[in-house]
């Protein structure tokens, strides 16, 4: 386990924590949700409604549910994470993480089925003609398979078991020649410059399209915030905050608001609630 200790110096929210207590946030993806990065990088300049001198320890773990840990433990996990006994926890969805597909602006394709997408990334489909488009070699690209959206892609498209230590079964593996992009900015650069490419990324990929490339529908559904929130878009993972029911309830409510801020600010996620229109 890797521990990151940080101090947040904002606000005066009452958490019902004594001076000698700390809040433990368990990232149950082993760090793949990038909570550590956003705690250390994103919030230093944001004015958040948080208590003064709050001590938070972020623990990266692939299988911990907070049992055996002392203090106030809160866990953050993807919806498909395995939990030993969810009845012992209160939970709340704090954001949705979609996988978005992009192709060059001149690509005639508007939609792709999830099953065809799997066949594209495992190499069964290697030419656009197999998808009803003009014949052209098909290149695959995406953000790293171990990125937050990469994990969703592997689970929902490639049907991989993210908790397994074994290699994926044949047909569920992504071709090793996939162009790996360091982030959504890199993914956008690839789709603008590589002919015949299809690339996956997070919601940030859609926000930066602006006619420079095309966002595909999946199973006929566009990745709009509304379709993501209502469950129609198929490539979405809810991110959930869990708190043991025997721990301080105030911590749960405050940390859920904090994670909602984190998700909204990252650009990758869709908030649970739509932003109220400005008056």
CA of 8: how far to CAs of 14, 27, 111, in Å? 14, 18, 44
154 and 201 both lie in a single domain: yes
Same domain, 105 and 225: yes
Number of compact structural domains in the chain: 2
pLDDT cut 70: percent of the chain above it = 71
What pLDDT score was predicted for residue 207? 84
* pLDDT at residue 215 is higher than 60: yes
What is the predicted pLDDT for the residue at 48? 46
- State how far the Cα of 212 lies from the Cα of 191, in Å rounded to an integer: 9
For residues 147 and 251, state if they share a domain: no
73 in Cβ contact with 41 (< 8 Å) = no
Question: 179-196: per-residue pLDDT in tens?
Answer: 999 999 999 999 999 999
> Over pLDDT 90: what percentage of the chain?
44
Residue 15, pLDDT above cutoff 50: no
Please tell me the distance from the alpha carbon of residue 127 to that of residue 150, in angstroms, as a whole number. Answer: 23
Q: Look at 14-23, 191-200, 245-254 and tell me which has the smallest mean pLDDT.
A: 14-23
Residue 154 to residue 207: CA distance in whole angstroms: 22
- The CATH number covering residue 51 comes to 3.40.190
Instruction: Please check whether residue 112 lies inside any domain of the structure.
Output: yes
> Does residue 135 fall inside a structural domain?
yes
Question: Is the residue at 78 inside a domain?
Answer: yes
Please tell me whether residues 218 and 245 are part of one structural domain: no
Whether 136 contacts 127, CB under 8 Å:
yes
User: What pLDDT was estimated at residue 277?
Assistant: 52
Whole-prediction pTM value?
A: 0.81
Per-residue pLDDT tens digits for 142-182: 999 988 899 999 999 999 988 788 888 899 999 999 999 99
Is the per-residue pLDDT at 10 higher than 50? Answer: no
Same domain, 111 and 88: no
Worst-scoring range by mean pLDDT, 12-21, 95-104, 250-259? Answer: 12-21
Whole-number Å distance between alpha carbons of 228 and 166: 31
| Pair 52, 151 in one domain | no
In a domain, 278, yes or no: no
Segment 2-26 shows an average pLDDT of 42
| Residue 276 within a domain | no
Asked whether the CA dihedral 253, 251, 148, 48 is positive or negative, the reply is positive
The model's pLDDT over 81-131, given as tens digits with 9 standing for 90+, comes to 765 566 777 888 889 999 999 999 999 999 999 999 999 999 999 999 999
pLDDT at 210 (0 to 100): 77
Shared domain check, 111 and 217: yes
Shared domain for 244 and 207, answered yes or no, is no
Q: Do 248 and 223 lie in a common domain?
A: no
Would you state the pLDDT for residue 249? 67
Give yes or no: residues 216 and 110 share one domain. yes
Segment 239-268 shows an average pLDDT of 78
Which alpha helices (H) appear in the chain, and where do they start and end?
35-41, 114-121, 148-156, 184-193, 203-207, 225-229, 249-266
Residues 112 and 65 in one domain: no
Mean predicted confidence (pLDDT) in 252-261: 78
Residues 122 and 175 reside in one and the same domain: yes
**By C-alpha distance, which of 45, 36, 49, 43 is closest to 76?**
36
CATH of the domain at 204: 3.40.190.10
Quick check: 223 and 268 in contact, CB under 8 A? Answer: no
* Domain range enclosing 92: 3-96+237-271
């Amino acid at each position: 386990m890797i521990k990151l200790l940080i101090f947040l110096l904002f606000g005066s929210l009452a958490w019902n924590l004594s001076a000698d207590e700390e809040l433990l946030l368990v990232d149950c993806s082993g760090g793949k949700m990038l909570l550590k990065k956003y705690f250390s990088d994103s919030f230093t300049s944001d004015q958040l409604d948080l208590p003064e001198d709050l001590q938070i320890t972020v623990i990266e773990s692939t299988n911990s549910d907070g049992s055996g840990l002392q203090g106030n433990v809160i866990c953050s996990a993807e919806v498909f994470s395995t939990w030993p006994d969810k009845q012992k926890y209160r939970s709340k969805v704090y954001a949705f993480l979609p996988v978005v597909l992009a192709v060059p602006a001149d690509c005639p394709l508007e939609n792709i089925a999830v099953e065809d997408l799997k066949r594209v990334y495992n190499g069964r489909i290697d030419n656009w003609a197999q998808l009803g488009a003009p014949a052209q070699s098909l290149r695959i690209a995406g953000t790293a398979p171990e990125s937050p959206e990469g994990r969703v892609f592997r689970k929902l498209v490639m049907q991989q078991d993210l908790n397994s230590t074994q290699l994926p079964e044949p047909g569920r593996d992504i071709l090793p020649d996939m162009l790996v992009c360091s982030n959504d900015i890199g993914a956008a650069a690839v789709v603008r410059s590589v002919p015949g490419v299809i690339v996956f990324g997070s919601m940030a990929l859609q926000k930066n399209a602006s006619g420079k490339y095309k966002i595909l529908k999946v199973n006929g559904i566009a990745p709009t915030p509304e379709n993501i929130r209502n469950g129609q878009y198929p490539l979405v993972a809810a991110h959930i905050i869990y708190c043991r029911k025997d721990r301080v309830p105030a911590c749960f409510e405050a940390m859920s608001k904090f994670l909602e801020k984190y998700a909204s600010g990252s650009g990758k996620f869709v908030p649970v609630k739509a932003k109220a229109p400005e008056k």
